[in-house]
Structure formats: structure tokens, C-alpha cells
Amino acid sequence: MPVQLLPETPSQTAGPYVHIGLALEAAGNPPREQEIWNDMAKPGAPGEHIVLIGSVYDGNGHLIRDSFLEFWQADHEGRYNSDYNQENAFNGFGRTATTDSGEWTLNTIKPGTVRNAAGVPMAAHINVALFARGINIHLQTRLYFDDEAQANAIDPVLNLIEQPQRRETLIAKRCEVDGKLAYRFDIRVQGEAETVFFDF
């Protein structure tokens, strides 16, 4: 009997209702009781507390005001913890979204050094997934820190990017927000200075 293949169903993008389903506060709705959101580190969590901020831009340079982002990272000692619990002082997974102002924020700690499968140390980094209208499959990238230049220079993943100027699209810039240590990381989906995305 011949194999009968099913036809592919139409793909769907993440928007324009991504905030209503996944980012209730950003949509102006009360959050769910058990919401995974943008406070990955509580005040008592060990490590250097930081604020991440950024915007997401489309290929025309316009702000994408309803994008949704997810973050995974190691703790300050370079360990990943898959045991998400809102009672934890630190969780290595968080979510945020751009608002009407066009910015997203995330409160976390600076991650420690992680080794890859071959045992090679990687520079401090945070993994980022971006969902937005018009994107059929979420985009994956990494956020590195500009004050880790020595580690960045030998990071095995950054060095997979052949053009040095393209590596700069993954480097968050140190700044200050309300007296707190912060890093700005803008994502450009297309066009000039397009962020490097990975096919993991």
C-alpha cells in the first residue's frame, strides 16, 4: 500500500495578539497568579544584579511594539537550573515584551562562565528567543556584554561569525537605569545592522 502523505497546513505568525495571550501586563490586563515574567532574580539572589533593556526594530527601522521575548541563562556560577519555581531567588528562565513605548526590560543577574560540550569556556551570555507578528518561526540569538571584551574575543560561538562587525550586533552596551547597572540590547530583525540569529 503506498504511503499517503498529509499536506502541510498553513503556518501562522505570533501576532498581532501575542500580548493578549502571553504578555498580559503589557496588554493592560491583570497578570495570572503564576506568571513567568521579567523578574528572573529576586533582591536576595546571589550574583551581580543587572537590568536589561532594549527595543526591537523591523526592516524599515520602525519599532515593533508587540514583540515577545524569552530568556534562558546560567546563574552567577555558570550553572543552568531547569527547576523553575516562583519561590526561587533566581530562575534561569524569564519572559518580557515590548510595550507601547517600544522598550522591553528584564531584571536578572549577570551569568557566570559556561563551558560548551567540548569543555571550552564561553563568555558570559544570555540566550534570547524573539516572537513577533510576521515571524513564522521564532528567532534565536544571544546577548553578550561589552565589558567582557577579553572573554568575548575567544568565545567559540561569537567566533563562528566570520565578519567581526556582525558580532557587534550581539553585544549589549553597559549603561545605567535609575541608578542601577544596566545593559542595552536592541534587536534588529532585518536591514542595516541586522542582529545575528542562530539556527539551533
Mean of per-residue pLDDT scores for the chain: 91
Binning pLDDT at 50, 70 and 90, where does residue 80 land? very high
- The set of residues, in sequence order, having a beta carbon less than 8 Å from that of 124 and lying 6+ positions away, is 110, 111, 112, 113, 144, 145, 148, 151
With CA atoms as reference, report the closest residue to 142 among 52, 26, 18.
Answer: 52
Say what the pLDDT of residue 192 is. Answer: 86
- The set of residues, in sequence order, having a beta carbon less than 8 Å from that of 101 and lying 6+ positions away, is none
With CA atoms as reference, report the closest residue to 145 among 165, 122, 179.
Answer: 122
Q: What is the pLDDT of residues 154-180, one digit of tens each?
A: 999 999 999 999 999 999 999 999 999
Q: Which residues pair with 184 in a beta bridge?
A: 53, 173
The mean pLDDT value for 73-101 works out to 93
Q: Where are the domains of the chain?
A: 18-188
* 193: pLDDT strictly greater than 70: yes
Between the two ends of the chain, the Cα-to-Cα distance in Å is: 37
The CATH class of the 18-188 domain is mainly beta
